[in-house]
Chains A and B, each alone.
Chain A
Amino acid sequence: MSDLWSLSAPPLVIWLLGPYLAAFVVALLPALSPALILLCSLATAFLGGWAVLGGNRLELQLLQEYGVSLSLDPLAGWFLLLAGLVCLGVWLEARRQGWDRSGWLQLLVLLGALNTSFLTTDLVSLYVSLEVVAISAFLLILRGATANAGWIALRYLLVSNTAMGLYLIGAALVYAQSGSFRFEALAALAPGAPLALVLVGLLTKSGVFLNGLWLPRTHAEAPAEVSALLSGVVVSAGALPLLRLQQLNGAFTGLVAPIGLASAALGLVYALTASDAKRLLAWSTLAQMGLVVLTPAAGGLMALSHGLAKAGLFLTARHWPGLSLQDWRKRPLVWSLLLPLWLGSLSIAALPPLLGFTAKKQLQAALSPELGWLVLLLSIGSVAVYARLWQAPWRWSPRPPLCWGALLLMLPLLLVGLAVSSRQADIPDLLQALAVLGLGLLLHLGLERLRAGGGPELPQLDRLSDLLGGLGVVGAGLLLAMAGGGQPLLTGGAG
């Protein structure tokens, strides 16, 4: 223990505290912001890459038995890599939008809180870091100058804090039953109220199914760079603990997987009927987060490929001529914006040779055959969703506005995807992907006709009462699903 401490602990702790320290420095000396933000996000991406590529693990226990336990493993590595790259891309774009020192401070605090939330393996440290993530995301949403920004931000923090209150009750019950706040303690308990409450909190944070109904409008109305951060990494801060819990106790997958699939279906239906391009992207985030939490075997790669692509797509949104999807085909987009748009959306629609294809293949391999087919059916839907964005005509221009942040995020999707696909090229897989593409385009053509004729009217689903009711419905559903085993539901107090 002491050897491990002396070798790995100081650098790791310095890296964890670095972004917070940098945030203070940037607030005082804004001239240092480029160097510090570059340093912090590159260090995060590098550490993530080191854990993923080398399969390295690092366990740390700070302050003895009841202290903070940290764990860096390949699964967390995917998320760190994502956080580092997305922060870098967002920084490149935000510089050109003239962010001031308060913006850089919020970005650095967000990065620090994300790093902590990806490493902690106990319920209380996770609570603290998720709340810091929520507060910095709230302040970033408020940067939007629209009249609506205040309401959207208020709604976000209100729902997220309510969910985290329920999560804390769950954590207290876990401590009362087992005397520890570690994830292992929760995983070892019989399923019951503690698990349901913790899951409600985490599902809300990761924007899955009814708990995630706050997500579409929040992500669509925030400024483009903030949407990229929110959809790219902030939601994955809730997804990683869900995956870790499933890793510790395989039985939890039976509870989370149906919710994830339902989320994927709900997000697709609404994305297919959305009338605004940013809302289409946001509903698609809700759908993809459902797929991310399905299984820990593929969750990391799914989160990385989706986060990179979605953050890049949102970054290009700043330069779109308009958001209405109805006249999308009438408005040509310059090639330098359409290129990242196509790359990102093709990757989310899981077409080879992009990284999203590799991720979807890994996901299908990790699931049972029936679930694998369901995921394949859902991919047809995502092709139809993104086909709506592919309608924009290309426009050639010699000196186009370049969106460096989006291009930076698309590069790994293309390069890593190419590297992996060229090594494991598989004819049946390619044929399957082509069939999915064809069916998706057919579905898109059919739906276009339906949408032209008015189309069905879906319920609104995102008033404040719907968001809060969603928490209650999913929590009650989880309890009912667990009560099937005949467990006593509330066994906290009398110890």
Chain B
Amino acid sequence: MTAIRLLELLILLAALAGFAGLLLRRNLFLKVLAMDVTGSAVVALFVLFAARSGLRSPILSRLADPAALGQAGGDLADPIPQAVILTAIVIGLSIQALLLVVITQLARIDPSLDASSFEPSDRP
């Protein structure tokens, strides 16, 4: 189980790195990429949690002996987090696409895409 703890730590570090990149990078494109790093870390976290019960894909074969499922079920991965994260991947992809479309439009205002050049100076 220590391997899983280690992997979990690495994944959380990756999420943190993405958040830090989002804060510290000045280029808008890199900011969006940093957001994607966080998103990928989240996906990895779900896959890791699914693998806690086993590593085999949770797909039942038609040829498998139904009586033997009890023993074989022990090393199957948990299908729930895997199913859940599929939706999140699709949503992440579409948001990424939408943001990049807007960024291409913003590039007409400032081709260097420096975030500070879009920030208005007045108080909200």
**Docked-complex contact A150 and B45, CB < 8 angstroms:** no
Q: Does A469 contact B (CB under 8 A)?
A: yes
Q: Does B61 contact A (CB under 8 A)?
A: no
Q: Does A165 contact B (CB under 8 A)?
A: yes
- Collect the chain B residues with CB atoms within 8 Å of residue A361's CB: none
Q: Does A60 contact B (CB under 8 A)?
A: no
The residues in A between 465 and 494 inclusive whose CB is less than 8 angstroms from any CB of B are 465, 468-469, 472, 490, 492-494
Q: Does B71 contact A (CB under 8 A)?
A: no
Q: How far is the CA of A158 from the CA of B19 in the complex (A)?
A: 11
Q: Does A79 contact B (CB under 8 A)?
A: no
Nearest CB on B from A274, distance (A): 8
- Collect the chain A residues with CB atoms within 8 Å of residue B80's CB: 66, 175
- Collect the chain B residues with CB atoms within 8 Å of residue A279's CB: 124
The residues in B between 71 and 124 inclusive whose CB is less than 8 angstroms from any CB of A are 80-81, 84, 87-88, 91-92, 94-95, 98-99, 102-103, 105-106, 109, 115-116, 118-124
Q: Given contacts A124-B87, A148-B120, A464-B119, is CB(A172)–CB(B45) below 8 Å? A: yes
Q: Does B23 contact A (CB under 8 A)?
A: yes
Among the listed B49, B98, B103, B124, which residue makes an inter-chain contact with A461, where contact means beta carbons less than 8 Å apart?
B124
Q: Does A181 contact B (CB under 8 A)?
A: yes
Q: Does A419 contact B (CB under 8 A)?
A: no
- Collect the chain A residues with CB atoms within 8 Å of residue B35's CB: 158, 161-162, 165
**What count of chain B residues pass the 8 Å CB interface test?**
47
Among the listed B42, B46, B95, which residue makes an inter-chain contact with A135, where contact means beta carbons less than 8 Å apart?
B95
**Docked-complex contact B99 and A460, CB < 8 angstroms:** no
**Docked-complex contact B84 and A124, CB < 8 angstroms:** yes
Q: Given contacts A157-B98, A169-B15, A463-B119, is CB(A493)–CB(B5) below 8 Å? A: yes
Question: What is the chain B residue whose CB lies nearest that of A465?
Answer: B23
Task: Return the CB mask of A179-199 against B: 1 if under 8 Å, else 0.
Answer: 001000000000000000000
**Docked-complex contact B45 and A169, CB < 8 angstroms:** yes
Task: Return the CB mask of B41-61 against A: 1 if under 8 Å, else 0.
Answer: 010011011001000000000
**Docked-complex contact A172 and B81, CB < 8 angstroms:** yes
- Collect the chain A residues with CB atoms within 8 Å of residue B84's CB: 124, 181
- Collect the chain B residues with CB atoms within 8 Å of residue A142's CB: 102
Q: Does B1 contact A (CB under 8 A)?
A: yes
Nearest CB on B from A451, distance (A): 13
- Collect the chain A residues with CB atoms within 8 Å of residue B52's CB: 176, 493, 495
Question: What is the chain B residue whose CB lies nearest that of A181?
Answer: B84
A124-B84, A270-B124, A495-B52 known; 7 other A-B pairs, CB under 8 Å? A150-B106, A162-B19, A165-B35, A165-B42, A168-B42, A460-B123, A465-B23
Nearest CB on A from B98, distance (A): 7
Among the listed B15, B81, B91, B123, which residue makes an inter-chain contact with A128, where contact means beta carbons less than 8 Å apart?
B91
Q: How far is the CA of A279 from the CA of B106 in the complex (A)?
A: 24
Q: Does B32 contact A (CB under 8 A)?
A: yes
Q: How far is the CA of A172 from the CA of B45 in the complex (A)?
A: 7
Q: Given contacts A124-B84, A124-B87, is CB(A460)–CB(B124) below 8 Å? A: yes
**Docked-complex contact B109 and A147, CB < 8 angstroms:** yes
Q: Does A78 contact B (CB under 8 A)?
A: no
- Collect the chain A residues with CB atoms within 8 Å of residue B91's CB: 128, 131
- Collect the chain B residues with CB atoms within 8 Å of residue A220's CB: 124
Among the listed A150, A158, A273, A494, which residue makes an inter-chain contact with B5, where contact means beta carbons less than 8 Å apart?
A494
**Docked-complex contact B23 and A468, CB < 8 angstroms:** yes
Interface residues of A (CB under 8 A from B): 66, 124, 127-128, 131, 134-135, 138-139, 142, 147-148, 150-151, 153-154, 157-158, 161-162, 165, 168-169, 172, 175-176, 181, 216-217, 220, 270, 273-275, 279, 282-283, 457-458, 460-465, 468-469, 472, 490, 492-495
Among the listed A66, A128, A154, A172, which residue makes an inter-chain contact with B87, where contact means beta carbons less than 8 Å apart?
A128
Q: How far is the CA of A128 from the CA of B94 in the complex (A)?
A: 12
Q: How far is the CA of A157 from the CA of B106 in the complex (A)?
A: 15
Q: How far is the CA of A169 from the CA of B42 in the complex (A)?
A: 6
**Docked-complex contact B81 and A150, CB < 8 angstroms:** no
Nearest CB on A from B86, distance (A): 11
**Docked-complex contact B118 and A151, CB < 8 angstroms:** yes
**Docked-complex contact A154 and B5, CB < 8 angstroms:** no
- Collect the chain A residues with CB atoms within 8 Å of residue B115's CB: 464
Among the listed B8, B38, B99, which residue makes an inter-chain contact with A165, where contact means beta carbons less than 8 Å apart?
B38
Q: Does B13 contact A (CB under 8 A)?
A: no
Among the listed B15, B32, B88, B105, which residue makes an inter-chain contact with A150, where contact means beta carbons less than 8 Å apart?
B105
Q: How far is the CA of A63 from the CA of B99 in the complex (A)?
A: 34
29 inter-chain pairs at a CB distance below 8 angstroms, sorted by A residue, are A66-B80, A124-B84, A128-B88, A134-B95, A135-B98, A150-B102, A151-B118, A153-B102, A158-B32, A161-B92, A162-B35, A165-B35, A168-B88, A172-B42, A176-B52, A279-B124, A282-B124, A457-B123, A458-B123, A460-B122, A461-B123, A464-B115, A465-B23, A468-B19, A468-B22, A490-B12, A492-B49, A493-B49, A494-B1
Nearest CB on A from B104, distance (A): 10
- Collect the chain B residues with CB atoms within 8 Å of residue A274's CB: 124
Q: Does B4 contact A (CB under 8 A)?
A: yes
Question: What is the chain B residue whose CB lies nearest that of A464?
Answer: B115
Question: What is the chain A residue whose CB lies nearest that of B88?
Answer: A168
